[in-house]
A and B are shown apart, each in its own frame.
Chain A
Amino acid sequence: MKEKLTSLWQRLFGDSARAFGVVSLIFLGSLAIAPAKNFFSEWRHYQHGYLRMVRNRSDANTLQRRFHGGIQQIWLPELGVVDRCTSCHVGLKEASLSDVPVQPYRTHPVVPHKLDQFGCTVCHRGQGAATTVSEAHNSTLAWEQPILPAKYIESSCGECHRAPLLGTPQLNQGRNLLSREGCVHCHTVKLSDGSVMKATDDPPSLSHIADKTTREWVYAWLKDPQAYATTSTMPNFKLSDDDARDISAFLIANSAPVPGDTATLSAKASPDPAAGTSLYGESFCASCHAVQNAAGNMVGGDVGPELTRVGSKVKPEWLQAWLRNPRTYDPGTAMPHYRFNDSQVATLAGFLLAKADSDLLDNVHLAAATPEQIAHGKRLVSDYGCASCHEIAGIKKPENFAPELSRIGSKPVTQLVFLPGMQHTLPDYIATKIKQPRSFGQGLKMPQYTFTPAQIDSLTTALLSLNDRSNTLPPSLAVAATPESDYQPAGKAGKLMTDLACFSCHRINGHGGDMAPDLTWEGSSVQRAWLVDFLKNPGTLRPSLIRRMPRFNLSDSDINELTDYIMTVYQSPAVDRDSMPLSGYSQGQIELGRQLFYGKYACQGCHIVDSKTDKGYIGPTLTQVGSRLTAAWVYQWMKNPQALRPGTTEPNRAMGDEDAQALTAFLISQKGGAKKEVAKK
């Protein structure tokens, strides 16, 4: 071996000329390495491939002319973007290449943004400056940011767009879930506009829980909330039997009675179950509450809690008091004060108490609580952060109970702990953490949720959008969300509207629910007499809707108070209610309106004016529209419905004055029933 080396050395560097020659050759060879690496680079390989592919196409000339060789770069200093992706992805801007099956040569699908203005990595992540496939796409030690999987791509929209977008259903759902499923009770999420994401759910106060339910139920609930109600949003803390026993002991012992929330009524329920069913239906309880039917399907809304097994939960005295006036127990509840009379309360209570499941509490046998158990329960309640969501007397809401998530979407992979078999990427970490939070180690407190796989993807998308860029984006580049309004009506009527929980369904001045029509301009829209009648006995305007306005048994003075307030305050500046009369239109004008209605505009496709011939029922029924709406509102609505109610389905027909006037005359002449011919005068 040694001789061989010596002879090799002799042969190469034996004399100075030889050594000089060999060293020069080596030097030249090493000089050639850089150009050779460049020549054999991947991007050049893909560009050659592109030119080969393009050659056989019919539009080869155009494509070749538009092709630029060499490394391409999109530089956007204010976003910190240097993207060289277009060096290999050559066809992104060529519309004709949409038939190429895969990247890197396929056209970019249509999105609202231009490639030159946004680059690639703003949406797709990855390493923009890299010029090899692996460095650009994958995560390596030097390059932290891998390509974002397609299913989370909407998270990038959320970096700049803080308001919900039509094209990003997954991101919108994820953001909703974050505030609706209680995530932000424990995890702080600071948004870049300085606000903090607020929870939209309303976990009940536990300070008076002994009024409402038994310790046995609390125990069973803590052990498995979904056993009581499958739609429950309360997560499972996987408590041991002893821990659940002690927490239930503490909560019951800690509870103080609410004055007036005791059995002042006869606790006897009406024996007639059919009466209960019809009262439950008439009161439209199902608009907010769901009940699981025999087939296992949920029937009803998700504003209030599921009632499938409510009879196993509540105390009869409490239920009656609650039905009589829910605001005594919980002043902030979304449930309206229905003003049921005593017999209605008894009927409904009997109906609800029959919805019981004997299996739920059969195996729960708890001995009387000892002071040690209660003390231990109190410690557990603090440890698990129960007070982050629930109000509990004597326990302060913990601050920053769980890690802040304001920049979770930029968390370096090196700071994460992965489970065996998991992909080492941030999206996989977030998704798995939501799916099985306790599997990441011993003693973790995050409870087990019952999210569907699609919900987990949505949540992950929303969390990925909370990152360094979303936090440091110049305000000029962000698309701000309209801040949630906290509008409250004033005075006596305002109190009444809170009591009736109008805002649980209706939206007024940007505040409230979206189940029922927006009432911001109701005073310009409807006639006073109609509103009085409607509040007395709400009929239905839209035959195909299953959620309807319930009847509240309001007194005449309450109705007057409400009507006066609505008619005076909720007026649109665009509609002068008294500018057009409710009668006195000429027969000719009405006839012209009828022709326009059935002919040119074919309104009968969606509306019913003559219930014998018309069938359309997408829009409200118009048989009595002349007794319901003001003429000025109808006229303005014809001209531009979206100006009065943004987002309404009614198409804007850009009607001229003449058509709008004729149609208004025709519609206002529809007074319904015997009053139909009034317009003849």
Chain B
Amino acid sequence: MLEKILKIKDLRVIYKTDLETVNAVNGINLEVEKGGTLGLVGETGAGKTTTALSIMRLLPSNTGRILNGEIIFEGEDILKMEEDKVRHVRGDKIAMVFQDPMTSLNPVQTIGAQIAEAIRLHNENMDEKEVQERVEHILSLVGIIPQRKHDYPHQFSGGMKQRVVIAIALSCEPDLLIADEPTTALDVTIQAQVLAMIRDLRDRLGTSMLMITHDLGIVAQTCDNVAVMYAGEVIEFGTVEDIFKGEKHHPYTEGLFGSIPNLKSRAARLNPIQGLMPDPTKLPEGCYFAPRCKYCTELCNKTRPEVIVSGTHKIACHMYNSKYENEMKQSVAKHAKKKEE
């Protein structure tokens, strides 16, 4: 069993406005292996970014509230840390890369200055010469000529800017890198370059990573373990083999795979999942996916599913629960019959 650098236990997060309470994260359990990459997959509203922000304790202070849970990083619970200590951890031990490189960089500072600032924040004793050396070293690590440290963000393209952002994140050689859709805003050929760079750096520096994305292709190519989120819960968790080659799946995961236009398949119509994610202010009583699930039964509407474990693969669905074997079998059989018709 590999050592775990990050363990999230039963995390619950809400956003409370005067109008309503949004249940963003509803009791999730996650683990990131040391040196490994965990892919966090889900669509808009699943709670992925909220989870990432909670780890960094960067939720919007006026509305975000962590109700419950533990986030254990290198043995200590982040949620119980003093603000000072958290600031020390942020950037130094855990770094985050956001989606839009355009807004993550200060347009009036050179990129060299921004990287240097990050370094100085966490290395108070370093002298200026050392800081500059570090800046140049990191720039070359991400594939940018060191002389460009005097350039401003607007002089770089989107892909380059994202590399700079990643460079800043890695400047203090963090133990954990959280990348929230780091390549979504980039062109596909640039995305390939940036992903290759991230992989390369991860291998060289041994950084553990939490890769948040909605693109299953990226997950397949970069992750070791995968957690699929839906309506604030982790509905499936496993190694990348479990998810991509396994036979058992949560119906949502199955639906996700069915929605993707596949380069290989020649099907004329896609198989989208009907409907939408539930309103996070009014979550259903039973399984959150039940309203959209083709295998849904009465049981699914009334009872919250338990997490069924088989080896490294965990699925939160009644279908795999031996207690409800009979009921669910009927539904699956009914559905298989429908498919044939």
**Do the two shown chains form a genuine complex with each other?**
no
